[in-house]
Chain A
């Protein structure tokens, strides 16, 4: 992508149509018609998934460089302007800080799989439940809604730092935040729909940890690996052990489906970072995992309403509920360790921080 260095056409006296009081445009120079960019093949045939981003980004258009060279909003594959104007607030120019191989596919998949909480959940079919069961479900739904709002707010704040040239990453992240937004409202709606209301807020250790991420990969570890695996474990558990209605099942199932996409992004990004970062940066991963686990454990330990809600909502007796809570923690743990292994980060089980281990073994 060479800069377009052709000399600017000399300014000419206005000779375009005159509108009283309006400056006429200069004579066209049409230099842009010779822009030195790649000519992709004309697209004529499309599969059932239509004209996808991966298809459109043919040849050099699809190649995200290791370091993005432009500081403004130059789209990848266009000739940058000679006068590029104000550099943007972007701070992330290294591909390894944001990249995941299948961003373009995840972006299209997210759009195909978007669901509409207002109209696609069987709200009318929810039957009244015993007070303590409804209240327990609502406590769990409040927690999911709150976490999703935190994810949405923090993720959106990161967009301003990611270079324009990594457009598939930005596009994918936009879908993830829209998923978070729908999780916020969907679970809030469920908590208010059936004679209940919202529960108690979470202790917030993890929320503030997500907020306090200094690096994007750090955010991804907290949000797309730790939080997502624990939420995914909860949704999978919820489908089997918590759901009392078709609406409940749909909520857990649809959310789990979204979370699996978020997890793919997290796993792929962590793997890429782990492989591409040098020794120094690679050590960050352990620091971030330690920090995330400690903060998660602090939430789990102090969140009595949540724990008791799981016990009351998932067993016919308190004893059975306690067993179910253990089962939930095991599922979450397996999801978490499985994700790290998929990201080629092995052996975490032996190095997990003791407080989180404790919360999983004796919840």
Chain B
């Protein structure tokens, strides 16, 4: 649908120096009229016609957005990944829109003023747990951030999702920092942290190590926040954070599922990433043992046991084992979903022990 010739003639007679070729013969699809649906005007709704053709491969190395008209003189950057499978996740649009709708504020959506005074050992334990979390949370922002420059406008929904994840991780660093500081204790002992996740050299490696394993384990932990949160304030904080983590994990799961479906030859390669994350390469791994370093484990045991007497800590450790069990089984479930069910036989023996029997 182009502008009528009469109108063009009229415009040209008014402004003789006007070119208007972009208007006369538009190179991008026109004539779309997209109305908002139940969830508003979403990315999925505008992904229609040629604008919904997500290429398997693209030579677009300029800043051109998918569907826009190209220019012959547009400059190239040669740093965008040409393949859809390099970063695509079927759920990127949905998860991005959900992220926009479900943003929350650590300043006002957590009822800080209602935080009761707790026994000192529990307060210290909470501050220690939150020191660990504030340490690792934004690594989960730095890691996806490093790949954003490689995602071209052809696959821009991935770039948008990454921005939403990084926004979420900012809020996570921030909410746990605030929790450590609100109660008069402050931050305590930092651990070895999560810098290793930044070594990922490939987007699918990141989805395997960060989304599927790292954030997956954190999501299970947050979802069991009811067990170790001592107050309604803390329960709310973990519930809100868990909601965000679910999106990050879902993005990674759907990316890996896509890769397994379209590039099944990458199976062994992906197992190698998981070997590393599970600690099978010999280096210690937080995931195979207990999340975080010694101090965080102790803090969790105190919170789970309700205090720091020997009996309480022992009880805390027993509950912690239940959390580990759930983390590992939820991890196995994600592996089944992406098509890596054979991981069951390859998993680190320490984790394998915690697996429920296979349903099939």
* A-B contacts besides A43-B183, A88-B142, A174-B169, 12 pairs, CB < 8 Å: A16-B314, A28-B301, A50-B107, A51-B110, A75-B187, A84-B192, A85-B192, A111-B103, A149-B153, A185-B96, A198-B65, A204-B71
Contacts of B183 in A (CB 8 A): 42-43
Interface residues of A in 157-206 (CB under 8 A from B): 157-160, 164, 167, 170-171, 174-175, 177-178, 180-182, 184-185, 188-189, 192-205
Contacts of B313 in A (CB 8 A): 28
- Give Cα A139 to B196, complex, Å: 44
Q: Are A79 and B166 closer than 8 Å at their CB atoms?
A: no
Task: Give me the 5 closest cross-chain CB pairs, A-B, nearest first.
Answer: A118-B40, A50-B107, A156-B148, A174-B170, A42-B184
| Contacting residue for B36 out of A43, A89, A112, A118, CB 8 A | A118
Cβ-based interface call for B39 (8 A): yes
Contacts of B177 in A (CB 8 A): 53, 56-57, 75, 167
C-beta contact mask, A15-47 vs B, less than 8 Å → 1, else 0?
A: 011010111111011111101011111111110
Contacts of B138 in A (CB 8 A): 73, 164, 167, 170-171
Q: Are B75 and A85 closer than 8 Å at their CB atoms?
A: no
Contacts of B148 in A (CB 8 A): 152-154, 156-157
- Give Cα A96 to B144, complex, Å: 25
Contacts of B19 in A (CB 8 A): 304, 308
Cβ-based interface call for A363 (8 A): no
With A17-B318, A81-B293, A308-B19 as known contacts, state yes or no: A203 contacts B36, CB within 8 Å. no
Q: Are B195 and A73 closer than 8 Å at their CB atoms?
A: yes
Cβ-based interface call for A290 (8 A): no
Contacts of B70 in A (CB 8 A): 200-201
Interface segment out of the listed A230-238, A312-320, A345-353 = A312-320
Q: Are A198 and B69 closer than 8 Å at their CB atoms?
A: yes
- Give Cα A89 to B34, complex, Å: 44
Interface segment out of the listed A119-127, A281-289, A326-334 = A119-127
Q: Are B107 and A28 closer than 8 Å at their CB atoms?
A: no
Contacts of A136 in B (CB 8 A): 23
Contacts of A188 in B (CB 8 A): 46, 65
Q: Are A38 and B186 closer than 8 Å at their CB atoms?
A: yes
C-beta contact mask, B54-67 vs A, less than 8 Å → 1, else 0?
A: 00000000111101
Binding site for A on B (CB under 8 A): 1-4, 7-8, 11, 14-15, 18-20, 22-23, 26-36, 39-43, 46, 48, 51, 62-65, 67-71, 73-75, 77, 79, 96-97, 100-101, 103, 105-108, 110, 112-113, 117, 121, 124, 128, 131, 134-136, 138-139, 141-146, 148-149, 151, 153, 156, 159-160, 162-164, 166-167, 169-171, 173-174, 177-178, 181-196, 198-199, 290, 293-295, 297-299, 301, 308, 313-314, 317-318, 321, 350, 353-354
Q: Are B77 and A61 closer than 8 Å at their CB atoms?
A: no
Interface residues of A in 271-322 (CB under 8 A from B): 302, 304-305, 308, 311-312, 317-319, 321-322
Q: Are A30 and B107 closer than 8 Å at their CB atoms?
A: no
Contacts of B173 in A (CB 8 A): 75, 167, 170-171
Q: Are B166 and A174 closer than 8 Å at their CB atoms?
A: yes
7 contacts between A and B (CB under 8 A): A25-B317, A78-B135, A142-B65, A146-B64, A185-B43, A203-B71, A317-B14
Q: How many residues of A contact B (CB 8 A)?
A: 127
| Contacting residue for B100 out of A17, A33, A117, CB 8 A | A117
- Give Cα A89 to B169, complex, Å: 18
| Contacting residue for B46 out of A45, A89, A189, CB 8 A | A189
Chain B, residue nearest A20 (CB):
B353
Chain B, residue nearest A114 (CB):
B103
A60 CB to nearest B CB, Å? 9
- Give Cα A196 to B33, complex, Å: 7
A6 CB to nearest B CB, Å? 11
B129 CB to nearest A CB, Å? 10
Cβ-based interface call for A80 (8 A): yes
Q: Are B182 and A43 closer than 8 Å at their CB atoms?
A: yes
Cβ-based interface call for A229 (8 A): no
Q: Are A32 and B63 closer than 8 Å at their CB atoms?
A: no
Q: Are A198 and B67 closer than 8 Å at their CB atoms?
A: yes
Most buried by B among A16, A32, A121, A184: A32
Q: Are A175 and B167 closer than 8 Å at their CB atoms?
A: yes
Q: Are B196 and A177 closer than 8 Å at their CB atoms?
A: no
| Contacting residue for B295 out of A32, A83, A152, CB 8 A | A32
- Give Cα A196 to B177, complex, Å: 47
- Give Cα A11 to B304, complex, Å: 24
Q: Are A35 and B194 closer than 8 Å at their CB atoms?
A: no
With A118-B36, A123-B40, A153-B151 as known contacts, state yes or no: A308 contacts B167, CB within 8 Å. no
Contacts of B71 in A (CB 8 A): 200-204
Q: Are A193 and B146 closer than 8 Å at their CB atoms?
A: no
Cβ-based interface call for A94 (8 A): no
Q: Are B190 and A135 closer than 8 Å at their CB atoms?
A: no
Q: Are A193 and B33 closer than 8 Å at their CB atoms?
A: yes
With A118-B39, A195-B1 as known contacts, state yes or no: A19 contacts B321, CB within 8 Å. yes
Q: Are B107 and A118 closer than 8 Å at their CB atoms?
A: no
- Give Cα A116 to B103, complex, Å: 10
- Give Cα A58 to B183, complex, Å: 12
Chain A, residue nearest B65 (CB):
A146
Cβ-based interface call for A102 (8 A): no
Contacts of A312 in B (CB 8 A): 11, 23
